[in-house]
């Protein structure tokens, strides 16, 4: 592998505490939350009135009115209005993909600075007009004569009052994400106990990190919330074991509300730049972006797990960078469900899977579990889809900076059978 481009620096990040759907941010829009997040980032790094190279942002659940959401956010923020912005959307991969986009432009010298951002709200979801009604209204809009208009209006039916609500289901399978994950959990025989333990560790680690001030320069309170609303510092595997399964059926049903992420509202942003740009402003460089890879799997016809694309993306990324899975000091694997993390790890350890599905002579092997999600992850913070990537990148960059050396792996699974992974290195 030869690479002459420079590496983008992660300067820092900001997010608002994540709220459970219909909780503290029930009245906040994506625009509100992302604006507060960019303003918090501006305050942390003295960017008020500054022109940033670009802001790449996105949301998974987006209103039609939020066309160019990110640009509109910039215009309402403290950043200079001469900061360009655009939207990105790749399901739960959105937040990490915005980072890849900005980092690549910095590496190529097209940008000196940029912000990668993401936001989502399940409370202010884009409920739309009933599709039948929408068609009638479009026909009405296109009608040129009075009789045409009356004919169009005659198409209105009471049933069309039922709105179109976004569903947490795959359009091509009709299964919810949880149901898909339950299939994968079953396939890899992921136990209930292991899932509950992972979930309890996530809460324990996140609470401890808050207590030691780790998030003091990563989170800015919003609407009265100072910590993630989903965090249960006093939970335990025993308490989680008492919950009833919500995904899967019968004996094999292991996934509960406790070991799955809840619907969440929140936003995050990461400040990236060239080393020179950061140095000119005396801004810190926490880590560098080394490389990233995106994969997709055919979960519709080929029997792949919906959320298993990272299983494929990581070996490709490792190979390109001449690394093994053991070469990392931190693993940040997004906890969409506890079972997703555990199935991913199991797949990497499985010789048959390595040979048959990944085309490798040997499996990637186990990881040191004490390096996994050491300050908590989505099970404890919650998971506002597009905001998770930014949360993880800023968190990992700070972990690497605290350690002073080393390398971290980010892995995020996404709907549509996709997955985005990346490597950061301490600066």
Partner 1 sequence: MSNDTFRDLSQNPLVQRLGVPRIPVLRRHTPGAPLLAGPALVGSVGGGRFAEPMRALLKDAGVPESMTDSSLAGGDDGRLAAVVLDATAARTLDDLAAAQEFLTPAVRRLAPNGRLLLLGPEPDADDVEAAAVAQALDGIVRSAAKEVRAGATANLLVVHPDAPPASVDSSVRFLLSARSAYVDGQVVHVGVPVGPVLDPVGMDSPYDVDRPLAGRVAVVTGAARGIGAAIADTLARDGAVIVAVDVPAAGAALADVANRTGGTALQLDITATDAAERLLAHLRERHGRVDVVVHNAGITRDKLLANMDADRWNAVLAVNLRAQLALNAALLEGDLLSDTGRIVCVASTSGIAGNRGQSNYAASKAGVIGMVRALAPRLAQRGATVNAVAPGFIETEMTARMPLGTREAGRRINSLRQGGLPVDVAETVGWLAQAESGGVTGQVVRVCGQSMIGA
233 binds partner 1 (CB under 8 A): no
Stretch that binds partner 1, among 33-41, 92-100, 160-168, 332-340 (CB under 8 A): 33-41
Helix 177-187 × helix 338-349 angle, to 10°: 40
| Among residues 220, 235, 259, 340, the one that binds partner 1 under rule CB under 8 A | 220
164: DSSP letter: B
284 binds partner 1 (CB under 8 A): yes
Return the SS3 of 241. Answer: helix
216 binds partner 1 (CB under 8 A): yes
Question: 47 vs 393, which CB is nearer to partner 1?
Answer: 47
The alpha helices in 108-191, defined as continuous H runs, are: 131-142, 146-153, 177-187
Provide the minimum distance between the beta carbon of 262 and partner 1 in the complex, in angstroms, as a whole number. Answer: 23
Q: Compute CA distances 66 → 30, 87, 106, 260, 386, whole Å.
A: 8, 10, 27, 29, 15
Stretch that binds partner 1, among 94-102, 122-130, 217-225, 355-363 (CB under 8 A): 217-225
Provide the minimum distance between the beta carbon of 397 and partner 1 in the complex, in angstroms, as a whole number. Answer: 15
| Among residues 27, 49, 148, 320, the one that binds partner 1 under rule CB under 8 A | 49
Provide the minimum distance between the beta carbon of 80 and partner 1 in the complex, in angstroms, as a whole number. Answer: 12
Q: How far apart are CA 95 and CA 349, in angstroms?
A: 28
46 binds partner 1 (CB under 8 A): yes
Q: Compute CA distances 230 → 49, 290, 379, 391, whole Å.
A: 34, 32, 8, 15
**Sites for partner 1 among residues 77-116 (CB under 8 A):** 78
Question: 30 vs 77, which CB is nearer to partner 1?
Answer: 77
Provide the minimum distance between the beta carbon of 83 and partner 1 in the complex, in angstroms, as a whole number. Answer: 14
Q: How far apart are CA 209 and CA 99, in angstroms?
A: 24
Provide the minimum distance between the beta carbon of 46 and partner 1 in the complex, in angstroms, as a whole number. Answer: 4
Residue 142: what are its φ and ψ, rounded to 5°?
-85, -15
Length of the chain counted residue by residue: 427
| Among residues 18, 215, 330, 337, the one that binds partner 1 under rule CB under 8 A | 215
425 binds partner 1 (CB under 8 A): no
106: DSSP letter: H
Residues with catalytic function: 92, 383, 413
Q: How far apart are CA 114 and CA 37, in angstroms?
A: 15
Q: How far apart are CA 122 and CA 28, in angstroms?
A: 10
Stretch that binds partner 1, among 68-76, 214-222, 299-307, 311-319 (CB under 8 A): 214-222
**Sites for partner 1 among residues 62-81 (CB under 8 A):** 78
Stretch that binds partner 1, among 86-94, 218-226, 262-270, 326-334 (CB under 8 A): 218-226
Q: How far apart are CA 21 and CA 42, in angstroms?
A: 27
Stretch that binds partner 1, among 38-46, 63-71, 259-267, 396-404 (CB under 8 A): 38-46
Q: How many CB atoms lie within 10 A of CB 197?
A: 18
The alpha helices in 146-265, defined as continuous H runs, are: 146-153, 177-187, 192-211, 237-241
Residue 21 tokens, joined? 């759907």
Provide the minimum distance between the beta carbon of 285 and partner 1 in the complex, in angstroms, as a whole number. Answer: 10
Q: How far apart are CA 328 and CA 189, in angstroms?
A: 26
Question: 109 vs 221, which CB is nearer to partner 1?
Answer: 221
161 binds partner 1 (CB under 8 A): no
Residue the block writes with tokens 């004996």: 251
CB 348 within 8 A of CB 311: yes
Q: How far apart are CA 171 and CA 164, in angstroms?
A: 14
Q: How far apart are CA 207 and CA 227, in angstroms?
A: 9
**Sites for partner 1 among residues 379-418 (CB under 8 A):** none
Question: 45 vs 353, which CB is nearer to partner 1?
Answer: 45
40 binds partner 1 (CB under 8 A): yes
Provide the minimum distance between the beta carbon of 288 and partner 1 in the complex, in angstroms, as a whole number. Answer: 18
| Among residues 43, 127, 153, 161, the one that binds partner 1 under rule CB under 8 A | 43
Provide the minimum distance between the beta carbon of 48 and partner 1 in the complex, in angstroms, as a whole number. Answer: 4
Enumerate binding residues for partner 1 (CB under 8 A).
Answer: 36, 39-40, 42-46, 48-49, 78, 213, 215-217, 219-223, 226, 282-284
């Amino acid at each position: 592998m030869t690479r002459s481009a420079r590496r983008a620096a992660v300067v820092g990040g900001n997010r608002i505490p994540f709220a459970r759907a219909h909780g503290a941010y029930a009245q906040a829009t994506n625009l509100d939350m992302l604006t507060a997040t960019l303003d918090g980032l501006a305050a942390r790094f003295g960017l008020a009135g500054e022109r940033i190279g670009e802001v790449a942002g996105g949301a998974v659940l987006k209103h039609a009115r939020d066309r160019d959401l990110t640009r509109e956010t910039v215009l309402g923020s403290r950043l200079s209005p001469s900061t360009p912005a655009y939207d990105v959307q790749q399901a739960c991969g959105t937040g990490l993909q915005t980072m890849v986009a900005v980092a690549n432009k910095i590496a190529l010298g097209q940008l000196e600075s940029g912000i990668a951002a993401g936001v989502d709200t399940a409370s202010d979801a884009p409920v739309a007009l009933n599709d039948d009604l929408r068609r009638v209204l479009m026909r009405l809009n296109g009608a040129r004569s009075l009789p045409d208009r009356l004919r169009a209006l005659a198409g209105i039916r009471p049933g069309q009052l039922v709105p179109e609500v976004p569903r947490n289901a795959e359009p091509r399978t009709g299964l919810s994400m949880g149901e898909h994950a339950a299939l994968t959990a079953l396939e890899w025989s992921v136990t209930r106990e292991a899932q509950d333990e992972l979930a309890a560790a996530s809460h324990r680690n996140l609470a401890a990190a808050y207590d030691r001030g780790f998030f003091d320069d990563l989170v800015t309170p919003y609407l009265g919330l100072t910590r993630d609303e989903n965090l249960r510092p006093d939970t335990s595997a025993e308490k989680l074991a008492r919950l009833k399964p919500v995904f899967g059926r019968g004996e094999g049903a292991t996934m509960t509300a406790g070991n799955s992420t809840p619907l969440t509202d929140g936003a995050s942003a990461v400040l990236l730049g060239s080393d020179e740009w950061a140095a000119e402003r005396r801004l810190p460089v926490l880590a560098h972006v080394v490389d990233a890879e995106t994969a997709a799997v055919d979960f519709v016809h080929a029997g792949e797990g919906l959320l298993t694309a990272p299983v494929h993306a990581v070996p490709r990324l490792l190979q390109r960078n001449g690394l093994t899975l053991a070469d990392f000091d931190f693993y940040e694997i997004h906890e969409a469900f506890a079972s997703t993390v555990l199935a991913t790890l199991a797949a990497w350890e499985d010789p048959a899977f390595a040979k048959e599905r990944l085309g490798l002579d040997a499996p990637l092997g186990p990881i040191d579990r004490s390096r996994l999600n050491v300050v908590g992850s989505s099970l404890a913070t919650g998971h506002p889809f597009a905001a998770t990537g930014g949360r993880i990148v800023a968190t990992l960059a700070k972990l690497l900076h605290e350690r002073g050396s080393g390398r971290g792996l980010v892995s995020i699974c996404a709907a549509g059978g996709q997955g985005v992974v990346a490597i950061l290195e301490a600066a």
